[in-house]
Structure 1
Amino acid sequence: MQELHVNASAHTPSQIHSKQARRAVVATVIGNGLEWFDFTVYSFFSVIIAKVFFPTGSELSSYLLALATFGVGFFMRPVGGIVLGIYSDKHGRKAALSLTILLMALGTFIIAVTPGFAQIGFIAPVLIVLARLLQGFSAGGEMGSATAFLTEHAPAGRKAFYSSWIQASIGVAVLLGSGLGALLSTYLTQAQLENWGWRVPFLIGTLIGPIGFYIRSRIDETPAYSEAQTSESPLREVLRSYPRQTLISFSLVVLWTVCTYAILFYIPSYATRVLSLPSWMGFCASMVGGGVLIVATPIVGALADRQGRRPWLLCSAAAIFIAAYPMFYYINHVPGLASLLVFELVLGLMIAGYIGSILAAFGELLPTHVLSTGLSVAYNFAVTIFGGFATFTITALIAQTGSNLAPAFYIMFAAAVSGIGALLFRDQPRDKPKAHITLTGAVQ
């Protein structure tokens, strides 16, 4: 290691790029995390939302309607993915990311302030559906633009590590959402929760507008996008020139999205409705799952930069396939806080192993000038089909089969589909990381 003396008033290109990359990570993690926060709290409070906006006289019917409304937003995700993905590839990642966060904030605000069915009748569920459609449109353009933004800002040989922070931000959302849920369910009565307490997280989530927009408007456009020639028709080029790459991306997303919604988001409701446990236990378990993603996902990303993306994708998909049934069997036969914590810890580590390298893999499948569009198409169609209605499908399967282990089979199916995608994926030759200046001023 050699010490390097740098004039405090001068900055080398390496230092400038490193500073820009760090700002890009912070802006993406905060903005993406806050956007996922809004999806998280809807899922966590879906049981109460069912009572407030979808009273039918049947608890199961009301709950299924609330979950269907959650899923409705996913119908707009492919539309938002295509429209905002093209916008990102034509006008820049920065512009697209700033727009998505404002749209998400508006949808969240509508949910936060809409009176219940008892006050305004059928207008209430209609407004909730419109808000979910707006959120779905916004979220559809977020992942593709955010992935392109971070992978294009990343130094050579560190794309998986940088892009893994997008996944870590999902952990931030789960941790914040479940933490708020645990806090509210502990200190408020059930009547208070149903009257006004559930609205608090949505009001907090509305802050994504001014905060997120301010942060994202102050970041620089990616160097790779600035140097690349834009495509006149990104969607047509993706479908014509990269169908195999898009199909592989689609299959890889399936397990990612199913695990996110069926394991991280669904567990508080599962613990309450299926296991008959206090709601705070489910929220605490989800906090562990979110914490695991925050810590483990960047570690996996750093390792994947050295070892390749394919081994992590394959091994993690196989591990989730094997572990899903035993873990659901465990929490059903030994229900309680301890079993839920073990469940989230074990499966959380496996999910982190899978998603830690997945976005860098997408970056290797598609070129810069159509990356946002191609990923948005693959990601959002997979999320819409398999992820958005995961909780609805699982709840319906449990009701139809009478088996509380139905979620395990759905997850195993997703692991098999994504395992095939991992087999078809081939790692590209990776650039070696260039020497970079650490915060201590040393060259490594």
Structure 2
Amino acid sequence: MNDISAALPIDRPVTASSWRIIASASIGNALEWFDLVAYGFFAITISRLFFPAGSASVSLMLTLGTFGVSFFMRPLGAVVLGVYADKAGRKAALTLSILLMMTGTLLIAVMPTYTSIGLVAPVGMVLARMIQGFSAGGEFGSATAFLAEYAPTRRGFFASWQAASQGLTTLIAAGFGSILSSTLSDAQMQSWGWRIPFLFGLLIGPVAYYIRTQIDETPEFTATERAERPLTDTLANQKERLLLAMSVVVLGTVSSYLILFMPTYAVKQLGIPSSSAFSAIVVTGVVQMIGAPLAGHWSDLHGRTRIMLGAAVLFLLLAWPAFAYLAAHPTFGAMIGIQLFIGVIMIAYFGPLPALLSELFPTQTRTTGMSIAYNLSVTVFGGFSPFIITWLISASGSTLAPSFYIMVAAAASIVALLRVRAIGLR
């Protein structure tokens, strides 16, 4: 497949201007991920306030189901905002997506609970999550295309800041979870404490919007002739690459959302205190924030698929032993060790992933292709990960069920990566 970007000498050193470009593209992804992480971390509290049921398990399942339902909007957002980005530009799509994300976050932050407004509360929560899902559907593709096109010969490093920003927000959200769960009483947490992270998230939005209105369009997109029908071109001419991109994303999204689910897993299945569970997550956030740019840089030097294949094989071989050890030793130290294990291997896989996805599609349809592939995979395999894992634990009666899910995801992505190498991408 011809890719005009390969002929464009647009490589740039990492200067102060480069950091502004990285910040402008990554900050929206940071806000998106922060809200997702906060919702997942406070799932138990939210389940009591918005989805009361006769059984605590049913209440939690409803909450996690709502977490997953919002992901049904991602493919729609991917199509609408992805096509918009390929026709109007990356900057225009990035600005629109941040406005939508702020709207969803505001609704969650101020939504009255079930005891105050009855069924309107869970319906409102679902609506807010759906708005966020629509926004997130276009955010990843637009931001990744923007970063990848800014410096084509350093795609790995620049695009990896998508993953690094997730690490930063995981770290911040986990900090909120740890501090709030250890300093507030259960009554205070349910009354107002759970809203604090979402109110904090609202502070990021205006900053992100301002920064994005001040950036220039990517030189690569400006130099490329627009596709009149990017969606039709993608679906008609790039079917295999769409399928490969979706399959490669599987392990990245499953491992990411497994980390998101770990505090709930630690509390409900292992009996680890909430404050300890959130503290362990901090380890993963630090690893992701520091490790993603390193993994992206190494992929520029040594190839994306080589690094990602190594990480996928490690997940396949070591996931079950890791969870077996944690189940046998449900302590804070073991939790830290497992989070470190998941974080290092996950970031070795996820760091080069955005750049690899950008290289699977030509400039004219890059955002459309990436957005559709990424969000379909995230919707099916990522958004419902907490729900699926909870169901697997219940159905199998085994606390090792999360390892089964990640092993299947690893096997699927290994097959896809081998095919990606076969068609000539490194």
The answer to whether TM tops 0.5 is yes
Aligned to 1:167: 163
In the alignment, is residue 269 of structure 1 matched against residue 281 of structure 2?
Answer: no
Change (3 A) 1:398 1:14: closer
Change (3 A) 1:74 1:172: same
The residue type equivalent to 1:278 in the other structure is P
Unaligned runs of 5+ in 1: 1-12, 431-444
Q: Distance in 1 between matches of 2:295 and 2:243?
A: 24
Q: Which amino acid aligns with 1:312?
A: I
CA distance in 1: counterparts of 2:14 and 2:190, whole angstroms? 49
Query: What residue is the counterpart of 1:29 in the other structure?
Result: 26
Aligned counterparts of 1:157 and 1:376: Cα–Cα separation in 2: 22
Q: Given the superposition, is the C-alpha separation of residues 429 and 329 from structure 1 closer, same or farther in structure 2, using an over 3 Å criterion?
A: closer
Matches within 5 A, 1:77-156: 77-154=74-151, 156=152
Deviations 1:58-88 (A, max 9, x none): 0000000000000011000000011000011
1:411 to 387, 402, 406: 406
Task: Pick one of 278, 284, 287 that aligns with 2:273.
Answer: 278
Query: What is the Cα deviation at residue 348 of structure 1?
Result: 0.7
* Partner in structure 2 of residue 376 of structure 1: 371
Alignment partners' CA distance in 2, 1:139 and 1:237:
23
Paired positions, count: 416
1:165-244 map, 5 Å? 165-244=161-240
Q: Go from structure 1 to structure 2 and tell me whether the alpha carbon gap of 1:184 and 1:223 turns closer, same or farther (over 3 Å shift).
A: same
Distance 1:201 1:325 in 2: 33
- How far 1:428 moved relative to its partner? 5.3
Classify the secondary structure of the residue corresponding to 1:55. coil
Cα distance in 2 for residues equivalent to 1:102 and 1:261: 24
Q: Larger Rg: 1 or 2? A: 1
- In the TM superposition, residue 157 of structure 1 has moved relative to its aligned partner by 2.6
Contact 1:102 1:208 in 2 (8 A): no
Q: Distance in 1 between matches of 2:266 and 2:78?
A: 33
For 2:6, the equivalent position in structure 1 comes to none
Within 5 Å, which residues of 2 pair with 1:329-368?
Answer: 329-368=324-363
Q: Is the CA contact 2:31–2:205 (under 8 Å) kept in the aligned structure 1?
A: no
Q: Deviations over 1:201-232 (max 9, x none)?
A: 01111223211101111111100011111111
Identify the match of residue 259 of structure 1 among 255, 258, 268: 255
Equivalent residue letter for 2:155: K
Q: Report the identity percentage.
A: 46
RMSD: 1.5
Determine helix, strand or coil for the equivalent of 1:136: helix
Gaps of 5+ in 2: 1-9
Give, as a single letter, the amino acid of the residue that structure 1 aligns with 2:41. Answer: F
Alpha-carbon contact 1:106-1:206 (below 8 Å) kept: no
Q: Distance in 1 between matches of 2:387 and 2:233?
A: 35
Partner of 1:400: 395
- Change in 2 beyond 3 A, CA 1:339/1:231: same
User: How far, CA to CA, are the matches of 1:71 and 1:314 in structure 2?
Assistant: 28
Counterpart of 1:68 (choices 65, 84, 94) is 65
Relative to the length of structure 2, the TM-score reads 0.95
Contact preservation (8 Å) 1:234, 1:370: yes
CA distance in 1, matches of 2:308, 2:34: 26
Q: Is the 8 A contact 1:255 1:414 kept in 2?
A: yes
**Cα deviation, residue 19, structure 1:** 4.7
Change (3 A) 1:391 1:172: same
Give the conservation status (yes or no) of the 8 Å contact 2:319–2:403.
Answer: yes
In 2, are the aligned partners of 1:164 and 1:359 still within 8 Å (CA)?
yes
Return the alpha-carbon distance in structure 2 between the equivalents of residues 15 and 228 of structure 1: 19
Q: Distance in 1 between matches of 2:425 and 2:366?
A: 19
TM-score (ref. length: structure 1)? 0.91
Distance 1:341 1:46 in 2: 21
State whether residues 81 and 141 of structure 1, in contact with CA within 8 Å, keep that contact through their aligned partners in structure 2: yes
Name the structure where helix makes up a greater proportion of residues.
Answer: 2
In structure 2, the CA distance between the partners of 1:318 and 1:15, relative to structure 1 (3 Å rule), is closer
Q: CA deviation at 1:16?
A: 9.5
Distance in 2 between residues matched to 1:16 and 1:163, nearest whole Å = 14
User: What is the identity, as a one-letter code, of the residue corresponding to 2:141?
Assistant: G
Shift of 1:380: 0.6
Partner in structure 1 of residue 3 of structure 2: none
Indicate the SS of the match to 1:253. helix
Task: State the distance in 2 between where 1:40 and 1:171 align.
Answer: 10
Is residue 45 from structure 1 mapped to residue 42 from structure 2 by the alignment?
yes
Corresponding position of 2:288: 293
Alignment-derived partner of residue 314 in structure 1: 309
In the other structure, the counterpart of 1:6 is none
Separation (CA, whole Å) in 1 of partners of 2:424 and 2:319: 31
> What is the distance in 2 between the residues matched to 1:423 and 1:14?
28
Instruction: Give yes or no for contact 1:82–1:235 (8 Å, CA) kept in 2.
Output: yes
Aligned to 2:5: none
Residues 164 and 293, structure 2, Cα contact 8 Å, conserved in 1: yes
Q: Does 1:389 align with 2:384?
A: yes
| 1:54 to 2:51 alignment | yes
8 Å CA contact retained: 1:256, 1:355: yes
How far 1:401 sits from its partner (Å)?
1.4
**Residue type of the partner of 1:46?**
A
Cα displacement (A) at 1:20:
3.9
